[in-house]
Amino acid sequence: MLISIDPSNGIPIYEQIVRQVKYNVANGALVSGQQVPSVRDLAKMLTINPNTIQRAYQLLQSDGVLETVRGRGQHVSAGAKRSCVSQRANLIRERLELVVEEALQAGLEPAELRESFESVVRRYLSSLKS
């Protein structure tokens, strides 16, 4: 499980862990039933306090992303992917709303904004093919 922490970005470390675990589940890097590192192991890997990891894991459990398997640790729950993909889509929609609002307030016409968006999508898709 790949997690990168940036203590200076203003987002609490436990929230960064929650977001990244959800992202890893949404993109398939973590799959249903897969065990995640123990609190102690992840704390060592990230060189942060185990209480921070525990807090993140508790939030992930309450969100239904992780579940405890008695005697075997934390595992990705069965419905986690669907939930994480949905949450990620909602987050993207919220970001798009902010961009649209800012663009319209700056005086861009809806047609210009649409063309800019489509241009960015085309460029991104063509870079994936390269």
* Residue 119, number of CB atoms within 10 A of its CB: 10
Per-residue pLDDT at 125: 93
In sequence order, which residues have a C-beta less than 8 Å from that of residue 110 and are 6 or more positions away?
A: 104
Reported as a pLDDT band with limits 50, 70 and 90, residue 13 is very high
> Looking at residue 1, what is its pLDDT?
75
Residues 6+ away with beta carbon under 8 Å from 98: none
Average pLDDT along the chain: 94
What's the mean pLDDT in 88-109?
94
Answer yes or no: do 103 and 50 share one domain.
no
Domain match, 75 and 100 both:
no
Burial class (CB in 10 A: 0-12, 13-18, 19+), 21: buried
Residue range of the domain that includes 61 = 13-81
- Say yes or no to pLDDT of 115 above 80: yes
Portion of the chain with pLDDT greater than 70, in percent: 100
State the amino acid at position 53 in one-letter form: I
For residues 121 and 72, state if they share a domain.
Answer: no
- pLDDT tens, position by position, 23-66: 999 999 999 999 999 999 999 999 999 999 999 999 999 999 99
**Could you give the number of structural domains in the chain?**
2
Q: Are residues 105 and 68 in the same domain?
A: no
| Domain assignment of residue 5, yes or no | no
Same domain for 38 and 75, yes or no, is: yes
Q: Does any domain span residue 105?
A: yes
In a domain, 115, yes or no: yes
- The answer to whether residues 17 and 68 belong to one domain is yes
